[in-house]
Amino acid sequence: MTLDFAIRLRQGNFQLEAVGQVPRGGITALIGPSGAGKSTLLRVLAGLETRATGHIRLGDETWLSAEQQVPAHRRRVGLVFQDGALLPHLTVAGNLDYALKRAQKPRLARNEAISLTGIRNLLEQRPSQLSGGQRQRVALARSLVTDASVLLLDEPLSALDQQARQPLIAILRQLPTRVGIPVLYVSHSLEEVGLLADHALLIEAGRICASGGLRPLLTDLEQSQARLPHALTPIDGSIRSHDVADGLTAIAWGRETLWIPRVGGEPGDGVRLLLHARDLSLALERPSDSSILNSVPVQVLDWYDHGNGQCTVRLETETGALLARITRRSARLLDLHPGQLLFALIKSVALPEMPVED
């Protein structure tokens, strides 16, 4: 069951003309610059913006066509906004029960949603007594006890600090396997997207200009996201072993081993790493006397000259492409050219991680 749409909406000088698809498996990120139309698209899909034309289909259900427009309350959409939007006069338990009473077939049982989001000790509190992270966990639990056929998450972590984000990221990562419905996640943070998403839609000036697997899209130099100063490549590996003495963990990535700061988990557990383009260096030979522990053989595909003395280079590995940001002088000294064989050098301390599985 996929969510398919082709919609058009004019709001003053802004026009949304978006065509895309949200698959059932994994999390699909909707990314793009501020004002590109991310939240507007979400509101149209949810039925909160009724002036749109075109079509929206979820599997065999049609929510929008030339003949009909299904109202928001009949679209079976689970929504989580930036502020949680909880009912302030009800306790946490009351908010859950309010949603549960209106669900014909809850996506998750009440206790399962409570356990997944870790809110059991909050049930008797009111929203005004909760921290920002707690409110968002309650809002997520509330959306899961409805009969939602799709989850729409509108920057649910944007108002939280880093400490509050981490437990929510771990919870959100479990959603595809726990609920089995399309999940569309709106964010302006590439790090959030890199840790959470499997697919992506890139929207600019009201149009979906690219879509597909997350890693191919984020490393496509034809797209703006790959040319940003904070561009990154998400990669998935698994724990190979721990080195207790040195406080390191060995990550299996294809046939390569990457050393990162010690993380929890057992050998075989999945781990997602974010390789920031600015944290990769390139060398003609594998160094033998360097403090950098990770060196990976790569092949030059192409590069983008930013015009400010810097280049972003797209490199091929056995598991797919990744990006490195280097100076134009470095590119010249390396005699950079397509097909060239190099080594990507990656500092261990530059690798944030996130377990892929719970």
Of the pLDDT bands very low, low, confident and very high (cuts 50, 70, 90), residue 351 is: confident
Q: What is the pLDDT of residue 264?
A: 87
CATH architecture of residue range(s) 233-355: Beta Barrel (2.40)
Average pLDDT of the segment spanning 86-110: 90
Query: pLDDT by residue (tens digit) across 132-173?
Result: 889 999 999 999 999 899 999 999 888 788 778 888 888 998
The residue written with tokens 């959603």 in the block is: 175
Mean pLDDT of the chain: 92
Residue 89 has pLDDT above 60, yes or no: yes
**67 Cβ neighbours under 8 A, 6+ residues apart:** none
CA 18 to chain centre: 20
B/e letters for 29-42, b = 16+ CB within 10 Å, e = fewer, are: bbbbeeebbbbbbb
Average pLDDT of the segment spanning 297-319: 97
Neighbours of 299 (CB within 10 A): 14
pTM over 0.85: yes
Of the pLDDT bands very low, low, confident and very high (cuts 50, 70, 90), residue 352 is: low
Q: Letter for the amino acid at 199?
A: H
CA 252 to chain centre: 22
For residues 344 and 322, is the Cβ–Cβ distance under 8 A? yes
CA 173 to chain centre: 9
Distance, in Å, from the CA atom of 187 to the CA atom of 178, rounded to the nearest integer, reads 22
Q: What angle do CA 78, 3, 197 make, to 5 degrees?
A: 75
Average pLDDT of the segment spanning 85-106: 90
CA distances 6 to 55, 64, 151, 208, Å, are 5, 10, 18, 10
Q: What is the pLDDT of residue 357?
A: 46
**H helix runs in the chain, sequence order:** 38-46, 92-101, 110-117, 132-144, 162-173, 175-179, 190-196, 214-218, 328-333
Where along the chain do its domains lie?
3-220, 233-355
Distance, in Å, from the CA atom of 285 to the CA atom of 299, rounded to the nearest integer, reads 13
Distance, in Å, from the CA atom of 138 to the CA atom of 160, rounded to the nearest integer, reads 14
Which of 155-159, 185-189, 219-223, 279-283 shows the lowest mean pLDDT across its residues? Answer: 155-159
Q: What is the pLDDT of residue 358?
A: 40
Q: What is the pLDDT of residue 288?
A: 84
Q: What is the pLDDT of residue 52?
A: 95
Residue 182 has pLDDT above 70, yes or no: yes
Query: pLDDT by residue (tens digit) across 10-30?
Result: 988 899 999 999 999 899 999
Residue 100 has pLDDT above 70, yes or no: yes
3-220 CATH pick, 2.60.120.620, 3.40.430.10, 3.40.50.300, 3.40.50.1400: 3.40.50.300
Of the pLDDT bands very low, low, confident and very high (cuts 50, 70, 90), residue 84 is: low
Helices 110-117 & 92-101 angle (0-180, nearest 10): 140
What is the percent of the chain where pLDDT is above 90?
78
Burial class, 349, CB count within 10 angstroms (exposed 0-12 / middle 13-18 / buried 19+)? exposed
Which letter does DSSP use for residue 144 in this model?
H
Average pLDDT of the segment spanning 344-357: 75
Distance, in Å, from the CA atom of 1 to the CA atom of 189, rounded to the nearest integer, reads 27
What is the torsion angle, in degrees rounded to the nearest 10, for the CA atoms of residue 188, residue 193, residue 196 and residue 197?
120
Residue 226 has pLDDT above 80, yes or no: yes
Average pLDDT of the segment spanning 62-82: 92
Which letter does DSSP use for residue 94 in this model?
H
Query: pLDDT by residue (tens digit) across 129-142?
Result: 999 889 999 999 99
Distance, in Å, from the CA atom of 71 to the CA atom of 73, rounded to the nearest integer, reads 6
Of the pLDDT bands very low, low, confident and very high (cuts 50, 70, 90), residue 268 is: very high
